[in-house]
Structure 1
């Protein structure tokens, strides 16, 4: 199967061995979109790598951008203004919703439903417009920089965001009426692609895929960062571990993200959003540093090895999709060929973060 076109789940190839219509063996083939991000990081100063993280996971670019900045800020002992901390959290949650909306639309498109795809992209467009008004970009963001944000949000940002929250909650009801109770959708997803907790742990899977199998691990709760310690939200989990459970977990996550965005708007302080002067060519304390954040697909971590130079000695990214894709071999054994598409869509793979 594949390689798929980049506009689908990324350039992925699956080698399947079949017995009739049953899958006997699966081997994912990766590497088609390798771009040497980590080597690029070693060829310049820390600030020159700022545009790269959001191009690893282009659907969760804001979260990757903020995650890298927080890792470097830990190494540099840089303080971030409170307003910037809140805005970072708010924008990351909007980005999480936009990623899940795209997953929802493409997942249903994989299963043969076209209308939900159009509705999801229509609502996602509202988020992209809001983030564009703040950052100047719709997809790959470089909004966060060391010590804060590149610039403050526009005056109508809060009003537009509150209006979007109201409209999105109404849209969720439409999605559920259209999809969740659909008999064909249930038959394609219920009891299909079950992942056990042992498989989750052995492959190091994180994010909604792990939580849909009953593992309540979320970096925002387990290792709080940014403004997350100050807001209230739940970590949705399911026990079934099938495609339907992963569908419900992501839907509930979007609802929790709206809660977080509302709280950030209510508690957004006045003040600066960045340092007094740009932090570009600064030297970190020598040592090894690791910082992780919760991306739409799971744990994204940055491991930094720094010496006295303004250039990193080594930067290693820990992205969630590699672990999630690695479990595909076990998930597909004994399933039907038609279920392969449903399972692949349900685990939400972004190939550039695997190849990078």
Structure 2
């Protein structure tokens, strides 16, 4: 043993552990559990204070955009689940809506209502997951257990509809594959009542908790200029005083008919973003309650009628020869959208999720670009972290609500 140490002495003597400027470099991730994914943060520290932060991405090697250019449109839709896998329906919907705009078709009203129900349930699932993991990062164990309990109820609703709990693929280009099962709306109404009560309890545990406030107030401050410079969106932007929600500013689907508020904060810190998340959960239940009577009054059509792009209903495929042939061609060869270019943005739980598709008239996208909100919010760490303590890094990353499935595309 001593001989081994002696042999290594010359090696260690040549390493300069102390930098001339009295700072040191620390790698945070890419395997750190509080990095919320495969992120490597290169932190330059002076004592416990962060002097410089350099976020590094690229450790997943997913190639999602290139996959979208090598799959027919319907084939790529389930793959979008794997981007923000905490809110997969928002990815499905954004892609389906972009392709529909490219094709020049619209989903039937009942399909849009069902889609919006799934989107808002998915938003609640994402926010509950954010609250649970963020609280756990900061040290609040009880809230983690409670929030995951309610999230399970939301996942039960999704499972009752499509059979899946995490990656749903519950949306189709042109509509939805299934109608709501019997008694589903009553279960949704019950869930909304439970969640509204539980959100009050979450806030009772956290909002005035002095440790929680010490860890979040005046930490990770993003002023309005910084938020705009870094192309922030979603709650990260709204907590900095900018009232911008694509469901209101660039409305799509059934949202123009719905009455809901857009929560805004002015502090721009972690605490302001926490308050916006909590209020947005209440607004989700408000939206879901409005959708239930709208669904009951709507007609039963679930898919758009566009034989050139969309298969006929299953009953026709099984009984009519022409519908069967058309279905076979669409499944094996894919639809052929007209030549053109489209960009469609939707308000995902984390911010602006956009799909840009360039079509050359073939069954494959000539070019596909995905605009994921977490990518920009990760880059923001470069400007936001310097001046904070090392312990604040965990709180800030968790508070920004980033998911690396949509960052490393």
Both proteins in one fold, TM over 0.5: yes
CA drift at 1:5: 5.4
Q: What secondary structure sits across from 2:220 in the alignment? A: coil
| Partner Cα separation in structure 2 for residue 37 and residue 270 of structure 1 | 36
Residues 219-234 of structure 1: matches in 2 within 5 Å? 219-234=246-261
Q: What secondary structure sits across from 2:54 in the alignment? A: strand
Q: Which runs of 5+ in 2 are unaligned?
A: 1-27, 312-329
Contact in 2 for aligned 1:60/1:96 (Cα 8 Å): yes
Q: Please say if 1:147 is aligned against 2:200.
A: no
Q: What secondary structure sits across from 2:41 in the alignment? A: strand
Partner residue in 2 for 1:52: 79
Closer/same/farther in 2, CA of residues 144 and 242 from structure 1, 3 Å limit? same
Q: What secondary structure sits across from 1:171 in the alignment? A: helix
Which protein, 1 or 2, shows the higher relative CO under an 8 Å CA cutoff with sep ≥ 6? 1
CA drift at 1:127: 0.3
Q: Please say if 1:162 is aligned against 2:189.
A: yes
CA drift at 1:180: 1.1
Partner residue in 2 for 1:15: 42
Contact in 1 for aligned 2:34/2:394 (Cα 8 Å): no
Question: Of 136, 139, 157, which residue of structure 2 is paired with 1:109?
Answer: 136
CA drift at 1:134: 0.7
Residues 1-356 of structure 1: matches in 2 within 5 Å? 1-4=28-31, 9-268=36-295, 269-275=298-304, 278-279=310-311, 280=330, 281-356=334-409
> How well do the aligned residues superpose, as a CA RMSD in angstroms?
1.3
| Partner Cα separation in structure 2 for residue 7 and residue 152 of structure 1 | 39
Q: What secondary structure sits across from 2:139 in the alignment? A: coil
| Partner Cα separation in structure 1 for residue 184 and residue 228 of structure 2 | 41
CA drift at 1:44: 2.1
CA drift at 1:275: 3.9
CA drift at 1:307: 1.2
Contact in 1 for aligned 2:157/2:188 (Cα 8 Å): yes
Stretch deviating more after TM superposition (148-157 or 16-25) = 148-157
CA drift at 1:4: 3.0
Stretch deviating more after TM superposition (148-157 or 6-15) = 6-15
TM-score by length of 1: 0.97
Aligned length: 356
Cα deviation, 1:116-164, whole Å, max 9, x if unaligned, reads 0000000000000101111221111211111110111111110110000
| Partner Cα separation in structure 2 for residue 331 and residue 221 of structure 1 | 28
Contact in 2 for aligned 1:78/1:146 (Cα 8 Å): no
CA drift at 1:8: 6.1
| Partner Cα separation in structure 2 for residue 94 and residue 205 of structure 1 | 23
| Partner Cα separation in structure 2 for residue 295 and residue 306 of structure 1 | 24
TM-score by length of 2: 0.85
Contact in 2 for aligned 1:212/1:239 (Cα 8 Å): yes
